[in-house]
Each structure stands twice: as C-alpha cells, then as structure tokens.
Structure 1
Amino acid sequence: GEGPGMDATVYSPIVDFKFINNTPYHLLIENYYNEEEESLTFKFYSTSLGRTVEKEGPVFEDIVPAPGPEEDVWTLDEEMEPGTVRQIDWATEGARVTVGRTVYNADGEVILQEDFVSNYIPWPNGYMYGPGVDAPDYSIPLED
C-alpha cells in the first residue's frame, strides 16, 4: 500500500470512501484481492487529461502508544481445533495523520490543493482460541 493516510478503509456497513469522476471520460476500475496479504487493490483507467499529482507527507501528530498485552482481546471460537490460538489483529499505535495533495493541469497550473486527515485509534492485539485454551486474565496481579 501507500502507507498511513493513503488508505481507503472498508469498514462495513459504513461507506467511507467516495469520489466523483470530474472528467468527461468513462472510468474502467479493476479490483484485485490478495488473500495472503488480506488486501484489496483498485486500479483506475481512463483517457488522460495531462494532469499530474504531487503528494506531501504523511505528517504524524498526536501519537498514542499501542495498547499493552493487558488490553489484548481474546475471543473463544468453539469451531476451532481444541488447544489452538490464532492471532487475528496486531497492536498498533494511534495517530492523527495528514497527507497533502496538489493537482496540476496539463499546463502546470494548480487546479486543486487539499489535505486529507486520518485519525487512527490505538488498537490492541486480537486472538481467537479454541476449546481447552485458558485465555490470559490480566486482572489477576502477577507475583514476583
């Protein structure tokens, strides 16, 4: 991918990525799913207007550390093999990320300049586990 601030997150049932084709031409949109990377990519094709785009950033602000192991989320899945654990989410820090975009026409004149701001919340590790696994209980103090 293009990194933080350049993603178009798909989060059902909310539609959070929309765009308007502001050209007189049709668009061809191809999509590709990579099961191994769990990623979905779209490629756009159309007649060129000679536009160019420059990206500035990303700029990270208000960084919040990732949650510690005591905030991991453990979910029992009765359908999993007994005694198995599978990590389904990875802890990550939160931040406010800004990416700037400047669009130039074929003559090099600026026709659009805008900032995109993404707010990422800190996210804990997530695990699914089968029967027979005792999920950690971080509410019990550890003895030294």
Structure 2
Amino acid sequence: MAVALDQPVPDFTAQATSGQAITLAGLRGRKLVLYFYPKDSTPGCTTQGQGFRDLHESFEEANTVVLGVSRDGMKSHENFKAKQGFTFELISDKDETLCQLFDVIKLKKLYGKEYLGVDRSTFLIDEQGVLRREWRGVKVPGHVQEVLAAAQAL
C-alpha cells in the first residue's frame, strides 16, 4: 500500500550512510524531507543533492531532517556523500521497500529503451509522521527552495 497525503506514513527502518539505521518513529518531533533520486553521481542528482546541502542550515532551523533515497548500494552512497560534502544521510533502498511504499518506481525511456526507474520525487512528513506534501516528476531547478518554503510553513 502506498502512502497518501494527510495520512500517517507507516513506520520504516532503512540503512543509511554513516552506519545508521533510520526509523520514521525515531524522527518523531521533527519534520522529514525524503527525496528519491535515480542514481548517485549523475548530473541532475548531484545538483539536487547540492541544493539540499547548501540549504541544510535553513532546513535545520525549520526543525527538518533531510534524507536522500536511491537504489544505489552503501559504498556508492558513501562515496557520493563524501565527494559532494553532503551534510545529510543517504538511504540505500536496494530492495525497493521505500520506493514501493512511496510509489516512485515508474516506467521510463532512455534512448528508446523502456526500463523501471526511480521517478525523482520529494515528500514532506510532519512531526507526527503524517505525509503533508509530495512532489512527483521533480525538475531540479528551484525545487529545493520550494521544499524548504513548505517545511518552514508547516
């Protein structure tokens, strides 16, 4: 079952960088931005991650945790995070548990070939674990600022 706006998000546990196991329940009392992206170290995903990195302090001031999610493995995540100086953790979702929960796996086309990939999407969850905003099919320019404004307004 996928998440729905204004409904509680089921608790989850996910492996993240820095050796962390992250649970939604463990983040109660803080807002959460969960952003799904297709692949580590690709141009759009790098730009998007840099945007969250550059505004990290503002998200912190808005009592908001930022987590990036892709199907890449932990080694790839650790390298990507270190190379870009990300100030937030990345979740490895190789088994697609979170991707399925948030319904972000979509049929995509690249060079005429169809494949299942992650649709760039962002979700804003409130302090009680309720999904308040979602952005699907995200275009990177201006997106992080829009998410920050929504987190600040929540």
Q: TM-score, normalized by length of structure 2?
A: 0.26
Give the structure with higher Rg (CA).
Answer: 1
Return the structure number with greater helix share. 2
Q: TM-score, normalized by length of structure 1?
A: 0.27
Work out which structure has the larger RCO, using CA pairs closer than 8 Å and 6 or more positions apart in sequence: 2
